[in-house]
Amino acid sequence: MNEGNLPLIRRLEEEHSLPSEDYERLLAGRDEETARLLAEQAVRLRQEIYGNSVYIRGLIEISNICRNDCLYCGIRRSNTRCRRYRLTPSQILACAEEGYGLGFRTFVLQGGEDAWFTDTRLCSLIREIKARWPDCAVTLSLGERSFESFRRLKEAGADRYLLRHETASPEHYARLHPPEMSFENRMRCLEDLRELGYQVGCGFMTGSPFQTVANLAEDLKFIERFRPDMCGIGPFIPHRDTPFRNEPAGTVDLTCYLLSIIRLIVPPVLLPATTALGTIHPLGRERGIQAGANVVMPNLSPVSVRKKYELYDNKICTGAESAQNVSDLNRRMRSAGCEIVTDRGDVKMV
């Protein structure tokens, strides 16, 4: 093992925190043995809090229409080759109905920032879901909105909100986004969601263009401070119709290393083994679970639109990624020492 890593791991275990420079050291000095030890500690902490349960979320991709123009994203506004779609409320309810039968007790409504989904329309949809399946959690992942909008959606019954911060460095943020998008507004949204009583998820891509070890250390310091209930991290994967088409993808190894570190920083955090991780490697999700993740989010969207929600090239949506295939997913989770459970899977914050 890289000399110097062991004391860093011990300190992280004890204090759930490191100075920025030490995160940088731990990241720059990444080696196999350190990764193995971090994963072992991360899995031990996960077991203490959640046992061997893996929570599943039914992901319903409600619209790929987006007003934003993020440089990395395949559904960015200026991608004219993207075939746009929007699900109707009755299509969304049909997805939830099927998902309930498959054992899902959390529905994630995810989409681009599509103005059709006004507060009024979303609130009536959320109320309908909560009325029909009162034992289910509703998670929203619909981008930046006003405090008042977040408040209305919460009042209608939304339980959780996922909004990746993308990067905790304002300078890095500016290189991944067009000038009209603001780092401050993104952070404002996360604070608003927290204040309103949502279970809040932040997150970032690993290996995104221009990302440095110092940027990643900032992400980890942000996670220490914000203590998210959920944290979505996955490798950046280029999309052929974006300005980053020729940039290299992130790796399974760096993603898993960060998953383990984040588990050590916030032991009860809900950590998904993301679709992007499953896309860059056939055993990516299993590797994520073995690094300390405890959530998977199979695709519950209508099969006819799945290929259109293409955030990056070759995004997987079949096999274990398909909600209809819970048994294949469970087989994979068992191979990683875990078991899928039918449960809302709320965070066990301590």
The residues that touch ligand 5AD, with contacts defined as CB under 6 A, are 72-73, 164, 166, 205, 234, 236-237, 239, 276, 311-312
Cβ contact 275:315 at 8 Å: yes
Kindly state the smallest distance separating residue 248's Cβ from ligand 5AD, in Å.
12
Q: Which is nearer to ligand 5AD, 70 or 320 (CB)?
A: 70
Select the residue whose beta carbon is closest to ligand 5AD and give its number: 312
Residue 34 or 211: the one with the smaller Cβ distance to ligand 5AD is: 211
Cβ proximity to ligand 5AD: between 8 and 65 the closer is 65
Q: Distance between CA atoms of 296 and 285, rounded to whole angstroms? A: 8
CB of 291 to ligand 5AD, least distance (A): 18
Residue 74 Cβ, how far from ligand 5AD at the closest point, in Å? 6
Nearest approach in angstroms of CB 44 to ligand 5AD is 28
Residue 147 CB, nearest approach to ligand 5AD (Å): 20
Which residue, 261 or 311, is less far from ligand 5AD as judged by CB?
A: 311
Q: Which is nearer to ligand 5AD, 238 or 345 (CB)?
A: 238
Look at residue 272 and give its three-state secondary structure.
strand
Q: CB under 8 Å to 309, separation ≥6 — which residues?
A: 61, 64, 75, 301, 315, 317
Task: Name the nearest CA neighbour of 92 among 77, 107, 73.
Answer: 107
Alpha-carbon distance of 124 to 113, in angstroms, equals 18
One DSSP character per residue, 115-171 reads TTS-HHHHHHHHHHHHHH-TT-EEEEE-----HHHHHHHHHTT--EEE---B-S-HH
Q: Which is nearer to ligand 5AD, 93 or 276 (CB)?
A: 276
Q: Which of 179, 152, 174, 291 is nearest to 235 (CA)?
A: 291
Which residue in this structure is represented by tokens 């498959």? Answer: 102
Nearest approach in angstroms of CB 239 to ligand 5AD is: 5
